Amino acid sequence: MENVKTITPAEVEQRLKEGEALFLVDVREHEEVAYGKIPEAVHIPMGEIPNKLDSFDKDHEYIFICRSGVRSENVCRYLDHLGYKTVNMIGGMLSYEGETE
Protein backbone atom coordinates (compact mmCIF):
# COMPACT_ATOMS: atom_id res chain seq x y z
CA MET A 1 0.00 0.00 0.00
CA GLU A 2 1.27 3.46 -0.90
CA ASN A 3 2.40 5.81 1.82
CA VAL A 4 0.13 8.76 2.52
CA LYS A 5 1.67 12.18 1.94
CA THR A 6 1.95 14.10 5.22
CA ILE A 7 2.35 17.62 6.57
CA THR A 8 3.02 18.78 10.11
CA PRO A 9 0.67 21.11 11.99
CA ALA A 10 3.51 23.67 12.18
CA GLU A 11 3.87 23.58 8.37
CA VAL A 12 0.13 24.14 7.94
CA GLU A 13 0.24 27.05 10.38
CA GLN A 14 3.25 28.61 8.61
CA ARG A 15 1.72 28.26 5.14
CA LEU A 16 -1.50 29.91 6.38
CA LYS A 17 0.47 32.76 7.98
CA GLU A 18 2.20 33.31 4.64
CA GLY A 19 -1.20 33.73 3.02
CA GLU A 20 -1.16 30.52 1.03
CA ALA A 21 -4.59 29.27 0.00
CA LEU A 22 -4.90 25.75 1.36
CA PHE A 23 -7.78 23.32 0.96
CA LEU A 24 -8.22 22.11 4.54
CA VAL A 25 -10.86 19.53 5.46
CA ASP A 26 -11.59 18.71 9.11
CA VAL A 27 -13.09 15.20 9.34
CA ARG A 28 -13.81 15.17 13.09
CA GLU A 29 -17.30 14.77 14.49
CA HIS A 30 -19.49 17.80 15.22
CA GLU A 31 -18.90 17.66 18.98
CA GLU A 32 -15.12 17.62 18.45
CA VAL A 33 -15.18 20.62 16.11
CA ALA A 34 -17.14 22.54 18.75
CA TYR A 35 -13.87 22.72 20.74
CA GLY A 36 -12.22 24.60 17.88
CA LYS A 37 -11.09 24.16 14.31
CA ILE A 38 -8.71 25.91 11.96
CA PRO A 39 -10.74 28.88 10.61
CA GLU A 40 -9.89 28.10 6.96
CA ALA A 41 -10.94 24.44 7.27
CA VAL A 42 -14.18 23.06 5.89
CA HIS A 43 -15.89 20.62 8.24
CA ILE A 44 -17.00 17.33 6.67
CA PRO A 45 -17.27 14.47 9.20
CA MET A 46 -15.41 11.33 8.13
CA GLY A 47 -18.60 9.31 7.69
CA GLU A 48 -19.98 11.87 5.23
CA ILE A 49 -16.93 11.90 2.90
CA PRO A 50 -18.25 9.18 0.51
CA ASN A 51 -21.46 11.19 0.00
CA LYS A 52 -19.54 14.45 -0.55
CA LEU A 53 -17.14 13.37 -3.32
CA ASP A 54 -18.66 15.99 -5.62
CA SER A 55 -17.25 18.61 -3.19
CA PHE A 56 -13.70 17.66 -4.18
CA ASP A 57 -11.79 18.54 -7.35
CA LYS A 58 -9.13 16.07 -8.49
CA ASP A 59 -6.99 19.03 -9.63
CA HIS A 60 -6.62 20.35 -6.05
CA GLU A 61 -4.62 18.97 -3.16
CA TYR A 62 -6.56 18.61 0.09
CA ILE A 63 -5.11 18.54 3.59
CA PHE A 64 -7.17 16.34 5.91
CA ILE A 65 -7.33 16.95 9.65
CA CYS A 66 -8.73 15.03 12.60
CA ARG A 67 -8.01 14.85 16.33
CA SER A 68 -4.74 12.89 16.20
CA GLY A 69 -4.11 12.08 12.53
CA VAL A 70 -5.48 8.53 12.33
CA ARG A 71 -8.95 9.13 10.89
CA SER A 72 -7.60 11.73 8.47
CA GLU A 73 -5.00 9.19 7.31
CA ASN A 74 -7.80 6.71 6.61
CA VAL A 75 -9.70 9.35 4.63
CA CYS A 76 -6.51 10.08 2.65
CA ARG A 77 -6.07 6.39 1.82
CA TYR A 78 -9.69 6.15 0.66
CA LEU A 79 -9.52 9.28 -1.51
CA ASP A 80 -6.03 8.46 -2.85
CA HIS A 81 -7.49 5.17 -4.10
CA LEU A 82 -10.17 7.18 -5.95
CA GLY A 83 -7.57 9.42 -7.61
CA TYR A 84 -7.71 12.51 -5.39
CA LYS A 85 -4.62 14.41 -4.17
CA THR A 86 -4.47 14.20 -0.40
CA VAL A 87 -2.18 15.13 2.49
CA ASN A 88 -2.61 14.02 6.09
CA MET A 89 -1.88 16.52 8.88
CA ILE A 90 0.05 14.25 11.24
CA GLY A 91 -0.65 14.70 14.93
CA GLY A 92 -4.03 16.28 14.15
CA MET A 93 -5.56 19.08 16.15
CA LEU A 94 -3.89 17.77 19.32
CA SER A 95 -0.62 19.04 17.84
CA TYR A 96 -1.91 22.21 16.17
CA GLU A 97 -0.85 25.39 17.98
CA GLY A 98 -2.20 27.96 15.54
CA GLU A 99 -5.37 30.02 15.61
CA THR A 100 -8.69 28.18 15.99
CA GLU A 101 -12.30 29.24 16.02
SS3 at position 63: strand
Is 76 considered catalytic here? no
Query: Of the listed 24, 66, 75, 93, which one is catalytic?
Result: 66
Q: Where are the beta strands (DSSP E) in 1-84?
A: 6-7, 23-26, 42-43, 61-65
Give the whole-angstrom CA distance, residue 73 versus residue 68: 10
Q: Among all residues, which ones are annotated catalytic?
A: 66
